[in-house]
Amino acid sequence: MPSPDTRTSWRPQLALYTAFKRFFWMTYDNIGLMILANLTWLVLSLGVVTAPAATAGLASLAAGIAAGREVSLRTILRGFREHFVPALKIGVFDLAVVIVLWVNVDFYSHLGGRAAVFGFLFAGLLIWGAAFWLLLHIHIYPLMVDGERSFRRLLRTSALLTLDNLSITIGLALQSLMLIMLCILTGVGIIALLSAMLSLLHATGQRELLRKYRDDIPEDVPETRTWRQLWRPWETSSRS
């Protein structure tokens, strides 16, 4: 467990900003690998049933980038093989959750007579439950590739992390939504980068979040580049 000083200094707003800044520059520095990784994920996901394992493989690559380790496309394939079974369990459970929620929301929202008010309230409660389930996925795959293979513990830990860190989880969700909208606007971003960027965003977010609970995560080299240097990269070169 982290020391009291670590707990005191950890701030969700700062962690969210730090994670996004590291995600941005890591994407910038690894743009070629990110594009190839996204295309590899698309190919591995063509079998549909293999999509969850492909996502786990992409999460393995993202975790490696976030930790500053040497990674390649082989990292995706290795993660695909290692996490195939637990990822498949998550995928099947996801499908079951979607079906159950869809059927129940449709049923309760169409109740008539005196039961109409109750139906709408219960349907609304189910929609909030669906939103919470989506938030869990920000933590599920990063935890899986970090070594958690038990299906029950994976869901339990993801739920507890979400509830204990609702602000940073919602912040990561909003950042994810921003990336999705940006990729939709560009068109090509959906095919070239979207899934890889989401995986890296969640990996950097998870790394910053876990500092709240663990003291075995090495300190990362502070990212000193500014947004201005994105447009004027020669300034960085001239100072080095």
Q: Is the pLDDT of residue 4 over 50?
A: no
pLDDT in tens, 132-191: 999 999 999 999 999 998 999 999 999 999 999 999 999 999 999 999 999 999 989 999
Q: Tell me what pLDDT residue 234 has.
A: 61
Q: What average pLDDT does this structure show over 79-98?
A: 96
Token pair recorded at residue 89: 């369990």
| Degrees to nearest 5, angle at CA 90 with 174 and 154 | 80
CA–chain centroid gap for 224, Å, is 24
Q: Tell me what pLDDT residue 6 has.
A: 45
What percent of the chain has a predicted confidence (pLDDT) above 90?
75
Q: Is the pLDDT of residue 42 over 60?
A: yes
Token pair recorded at residue 36: 């190839």
Between 66-80, 182-196, 220-234, the lowest mean confidence (pLDDT) is in 220-234
Q: Of residues 232 and 24, which shows the higher confidence score?
A: 24
Other CB atoms closer than 10 Å to residue 26's CB: what's the count?
21
Other CB atoms closer than 10 Å to residue 183's CB: what's the count?
19
| Residue 152 dihedral angles phi and psi, to the nearest 5° | -65, -45
Confidence of residue 9 (pLDDT cuts 50, 70, 90): low
Q: What average pLDDT does this structure show over 215-226?
A: 83
Q: Which of 86, 55, 85, 57 is nearest to 71 (CA)?
A: 57
